[in-house]
Structure 1
Amino acid sequence: MQTYACPTKQFTRRSFCLSTLMLAVSLHGSSAAVHAQDVLRIPYVADIGTFDPDNGFETGAVSAINNVYEGLVQYEPGSTRIVGLLAQSWEISDNGLTYTFHLINGVKFHDGTAFNAGAVIESFGRRRDRGLILSYFLANVKDMRAPDDSTVVLTLGHPQPSLLDALSSPWGPKIISPVALARHDNGDFATTWLNEHAVGTGPFKLAEFKRGQRYVLERNEDYWGDKPFFRQIFISIVPDISQQILQLQAGAIDAVPINYPFAQLTSLPAGLEITAVPSMIPYDLFVKPNSPLDDADVRKAILAAINPALWVKDAFGEFASLARSVYPNVMLDPINPIRFPTDFEAAKATIAKHGVVNLVIGLHSAAPSYGRIADLMIAQLALIGVKATAYVLPSGAAYNLKHDPNPPDLLLTIAGPDAAHPENQAKVFFTKDGSLNFFGRALPEADAIVEEAGQLTDVKKRDALYERAGQMYFDAGIVIPLVDVDDVVVHVKGLKNLGLRPVNPPGNIDFATVRWGP
């Protein structure tokens, strides 16, 4: 059995580590007495900012929110296939402008209010019209009608084949009890109350919200669909991954959902196992304008040095795959995958001829994977004579790089989309007005192809155009896709059906599907 490796160079550090280990064992002793098999204990690295499904871009808590609230449609676990949720069926008009949803009957909100089409209209209107953070999901919906209690009709301003993906997104619009919205609207559309309270239709109810401490979900015994296995989900806030690992080994929690060190995954202690699935977690480099990579020859040499095929196994073992395009592999399977140069000697000769090349890499996060990738690329660049350094950007700084007077030459970030349609990748990260076009770069001819692709319903033709535009962004030195990393959860043996979804941020276990099993 693997033991936790404590630092031993100083007595004080050893004493701290031993104390920590004793604390974990104590936690195990105290929790074992009260832990029931129908209670799932999950740690979060970061606190929940808001439980309001319309007004926050939560990542770690997506599954908790989506098990309390439900939308009309969703992505099937382990897939990008769209299936009904509160809508049992739907039709799309021939002109692509009208979507008619037929709702499931007999559904009730957690406060006993009946779910109906009027509740959908009110919730969708709140998100679209009240200036909330996630209003953009419904920006193209120009009219909403409820012909009867079981039917919702959405009319778009222009055809949007990505609409169903937007509605299926983990951050897509959810339905909130209209009674709760009215009761707690203090002139703020209930945003203050919904930060820490919730009334949805989902398989779980929000039973306890102790900011910075714990969150408790209770099974909705009156749920309209399949009942969850677990009676209660107990969520604790444990920012330090080493502490999470200690608690998992001591039996105080049931999983480490994210950031378990990849180097340790091949030698887990007895009693633990891994669930890993392909995911939309692409690590990309975004390139600032007027960097050394503007020189096509220098860029070719740098690409040869940082070729992810040279370091992906060292960074992620078997839990990552080489990026095949500027889109996640799960989203789009390109006909002609992006290729990195491989002539190392030619790269060295180019840099020697060019003269000194210095690069600064900004890391979006202090998460270990960022530093590991940067270290490996820096070592590779040194082999061809390029001097590179890396630093962790301050929180939120990546979103302001286009206005930064001294930005890094490269931004290393996870460029994960908010839905599985290629439009949600291209129009967010690559086109001129993309909200996460970090350096504000523009390639009008590629943007025009993206616009054309977004109108197509023929997936093969659509993807061919997106692939073409993506290759243009790459060839222009705007973005460099590196690797797609699996969603990896380390948990107690016997935990099954975690319900991980490719579009979800990593580690978001679906509490409605997870269970103990053989």
Structure 2
Amino acid sequence: MLQTRVTRPRRIALIGLAGAVAVSLSACAESERGPDAGGGEGQTGGTLVFGAAGAPSNFDPFFASDGETFRVTRQIYEGLVGITPGTADLEPELATEWTPSPDGLNWTFKLRTGVTFHDGTPFNADAVCKNFERWYNQTGAGATAALSYYWIENFGGFSDGKQPSLYKSCTAKDESTVELALTRFTARFPTMLSQSAFAIQSPTAMEKYKADDVKAQGDSFIFSEYARSHPTGTGPFKFVSYDEANGTIELARNDAYYGDKAKLDKLIFRVIPDETARKQALEAGDIDGYDLPSPADWASLKEGGYNLMIRDPFNILYLGITQKNNDALKELKVRQALAYAIDRETLVKSVLPEGAEVAKQFYPPTVVGYANDVMEYPHDPAKAKQLLAEAGYENLKVKFWWPTQVSRPYMPNPQSIFGAIQEDLQAAGITVEPVSKPWAGGYVDDVEVARAELFLLGWTGDYNSPDNFIGTFFGTTENQFWTSGSPWAEDLATAIDAADATVDNGERDAKYQDINRKLMAEYLPAIPISHSPPAIVVSSKVQGLVPSPLTQEEFGPVSVTS
């Protein structure tokens, strides 16, 4: 099938949050949600206060791309498809089932009936199509990668036709049936609809409060009244207020919710940017939980009686290699020497938190297309020195960038990780020149413009798809700091596109496995280091919170004991 490549925007500074497992073309899914779906045990009522690391950018998920915004909007909105709590598995949400045409170009979604938005507007096929048409018809600031990142990453262009779009049309066949037409097959659909950006919003509220009235102002944006004060979905919680001065977002239970009602009366997110301050607030009883506690605090939190929940890892940390500015790094043997030089087993055991695993390729073993027979690089300094000598670079010198003022699920302690890798490289005879910069104060910019030679970077999956990992990393040759100038970069991007366009599940899996073998043996554009499990911590009074490997927790079943 002819494949039109989507130009993917770069997003190394963001954490992917949503995820799901692809549904095969021959299958449909049936709902397990609804009034009889069951809920967590626990006391009804009360208020839970959760410590947030940052303020939301706005409350319109389509115009968002950051985890702190999605943590809030996920409680307010729902999508056609969702995620089974505690897993990365696709499940029905506002759609009860979906069926593709044989070529995968037309998808029929059966919708829930008797569902209303928070403003009383009926949820139906017309509302779904109005959302898709809104997304597709963005113009001006709304059509930029800064605001419509997830649309551009997943669907490509808009109705102006300047770039190809995966989206073709949405048709309301009847009140509870929608047909979505695509311009080409992609294995990522409908899985990608599980991302928070594609939540279905009230057409009435969006029109009333001018949802698309967003304007650029310097490096930031002025959002609409809708995005600031009137977000309206179908979820278990309703928006109440945002006190920007005090950094407090208040949600209340949606008593008209079609499924199990939220147990909490109120859900409050309190912005506390400093991680140490969040820990102190938990200990003082000012908040009931927070995300991503430092691994150095795990033991003391557990000893203090707090419920520390360690998620399954769904991420990758890698040592990035920019080939543009150092001729030695263009040589495969040199990149292989770097891989042999790093003692990843010891790094994982001594530096990373409990449950971390050595990465053998560029995504976790739970993702489709994982190959069990890729070339591996066990710690072997002698082998590293041999390869450097064979390549003519026995006196290799490299500049190694590492970030400060940041903690990521895949990279909880950048300085310690850098120190361990630096020591390994030096033991193999490689001279390392350290370069450290704040994550948001030059580090990301340097990496994106290919100024860094070696660098630490990673990714948390948006959803369970190989394309979301290796497609994001290597699926384009434009602005590509990993593969810039490499003779195989175009072949790699083409192979990734071809795999995504393969309808047959078995053939597609085989293609991805072949790509992973070549990535590790023939290309090695970077060095996979580890998969690291992020944690979330709550008070012992909190019950019913199910940790998500995608950091996509739902608070509807959560209760707080008195």
Q: TM-score, normalised by structure 2?
A: 0.78
User: In the alignment, what sits opposite 1:162?
Assistant: 188
User: In the alignment, what sits opposite 2:382?
Assistant: 345
Q: 1:438: how far off?
A: 5.6
* Structure 2 CA distance for aligned equivalents of residues 293 and 239 of structure 1: 38
Structure 1 residues 437 and 415, CA, compared in 2 at 3 Å: closer, same or farther?
farther
Give the secondary structure class of the aligned counterpart of 1:395.
helix
User: In the alignment, what sits opposite 1:322?
Assistant: 358
Q: Deviations over 1:298-324 (max 9, x none)?
A: 323321222321211112232311113
**2:467 is the counterpart of 1:423:** yes
Structure 1 residues 146 and 43, CA, compared in 2 at 3 Å: closer, same or farther?
same
* Structure 2 CA distance for aligned equivalents of residues 403 and 492 of structure 1: 40
Asked if structure 1 preserves the Cα contact closer than 8 Å seen for 2:323 and 2:482, the reply is no
**2:302 is the counterpart of 1:255:** no
**2:116 is the counterpart of 1:77:** no
**2:542 is the counterpart of 1:495:** yes
User: In the alignment, what sits opposite 1:336?
Assistant: 373
| Mapping for residues 118-267 of structure 1, pairs under 5 Å | 118-130=126-138, 131=143, 132-133=147-148, 134-136=150-152, 137-138=154-155, 139-171=165-197, 173-185=198-210, 188=213, 191-197=223-229, 198-211=231-244, 213-258=247-292, 260-267=293-300
Asked if structure 2 preserves the Cα contact closer than 8 Å seen for 1:80 and 1:420, the reply is yes
Q: State the Cα RMSD in Å.
A: 2.7
Q: 1:109: how far off?
A: 0.8
Give the secondary structure class of the aligned counterpart of 1:54.
helix
Q: 1:364: how far off?
A: 5.3
User: In the alignment, what sits opposite 2:73?
Assistant: 65
**2:415 is the counterpart of 1:371:** yes
Q: 1:329: how far off?
A: 3.0
Asked if structure 1 preserves the Cα contact closer than 8 Å seen for 2:406 and 2:439, the reply is no
* Structure 1 CA distance for aligned equivalents of residues 366 and 454 of structure 2: 25
Q: How many residues align?
A: 477
Q: 1:92: how far off?
A: 0.8
User: In the alignment, what sits opposite 2:15?
Assistant: none
Asked if structure 1 preserves the Cα contact closer than 8 Å seen for 2:75 and 2:237, the reply is yes
Asked if structure 2 preserves the Cα contact closer than 8 Å seen for 1:441 and 1:478, the reply is no
Q: Deviations over 1:419-475 (max 9, x none)?
A: 211122222211224787666466223223222211234444323311221332333
Q: Deviations over 1:329-373 (max 9, x none)?
A: 332442224511432233345557834322223335632522221
* Structure 2 CA distance for aligned equivalents of residues 108 and 436 of structure 1: 44
* Structure 2 CA distance for aligned equivalents of residues 438 and 169 of structure 1: 26
Q: 1:205: how far off?
A: 0.8
**2:105 is the counterpart of 1:97:** yes
Mean alpha-carbon deviation: is it higher for 180-189 or for 136-145?
A: 180-189
User: In the alignment, what sits opposite 1:22?
Assistant: none
Asked if structure 2 preserves the Cα contact closer than 8 Å seen for 1:75 and 1:81, the reply is yes
Structure 1 residues 517 and 328, CA, compared in 2 at 3 Å: closer, same or farther?
farther
Structure 1 residues 436 and 56, CA, compared in 2 at 3 Å: closer, same or farther?
farther
Mean alpha-carbon deviation: is it higher for 159-168 or for 315-324?
A: 315-324
* Structure 2 CA distance for aligned equivalents of residues 330 and 396 of structure 1: 34
Mean alpha-carbon deviation: is it higher for 110-119 or for 36-45?
A: 36-45
Q: 1:188: how far off?
A: 2.1
Structure 1 residues 394 and 421, CA, compared in 2 at 3 Å: closer, same or farther?
closer
Asked if structure 2 preserves the Cα contact closer than 8 Å seen for 1:496 and 1:514, the reply is yes
Structure 1 residues 192 and 396, CA, compared in 2 at 3 Å: closer, same or farther?
farther
Question: Which ranges of structure 2 fall in alignment gaps of 5 or more residues?
Answer: 1-43, 156-164, 216-222, 408-412
Asked if structure 2 preserves the Cα contact closer than 8 Å seen for 1:78 and 1:500, the reply is yes
**2:461 is the counterpart of 1:410:** no
* Structure 2 CA distance for aligned equivalents of residues 227 and 59 of structure 1: 24
Q: TM-score, normalised by structure 1?
A: 0.85
Structure 1 residues 47 and 224, CA, compared in 2 at 3 Å: closer, same or farther?
same
Asked if structure 1 preserves the Cα contact closer than 8 Å seen for 2:79 and 2:196, the reply is no
Report the AA paired with residue 357 of structure 2: S
User: In the alignment, what sits opposite 1:28?
Assistant: none
* Structure 1 CA distance for aligned equivalents of residues 502 and 542 of structure 2: 41
Mean alpha-carbon deviation: is it higher for 352-361 or for 294-303?
A: 352-361
* Structure 1 CA distance for aligned equivalents of residues 339 and 248 of structure 2: 45
Q: 1:396: how far off?
A: 7.7
Asked if structure 1 preserves the Cα contact closer than 8 Å seen for 2:45 and 2:559, the reply is no
Instruction: Give the share of equivalent positions with the same residue, in percent.
Output: 25
**2:91 is the counterpart of 1:86:** no
Q: Deviations over 1:164-185 (max 9, x none)?
A: 11111233x1111111111122
Structure 1 residues 186 and 496, CA, compared in 2 at 3 Å: closer, same or farther?
closer
Structure with the bigger RCO (C-alpha within 8 Å, sep 6+) is 2
User: In the alignment, what sits opposite 1:311?
Assistant: 347
* Structure 2 CA distance for aligned equivalents of residues 390 and 255 of structure 1: 35
Asked if structure 1 preserves the Cα contact closer than 8 Å seen for 2:543 and 2:560, the reply is yes
Asked if structure 2 preserves the Cα contact closer than 8 Å seen for 1:398 and 1:438, the reply is no
User: In the alignment, what sits opposite 2:393?
Assistant: 354
Asked if structure 2 preserves the Cα contact closer than 8 Å seen for 1:72 and 1:85, the reply is yes
| Mapping for residues 436-455 of structure 1, pairs under 5 Å | 440=484, 443-455=489-501
**2:427 is the counterpart of 1:383:** yes
Report the AA paired with residue 470 of structure 2: A
Asked if structure 2 preserves the Cα contact closer than 8 Å seen for 1:431 and 1:437, the reply is no
Report the AA paired with residue 499 of structure 1: V
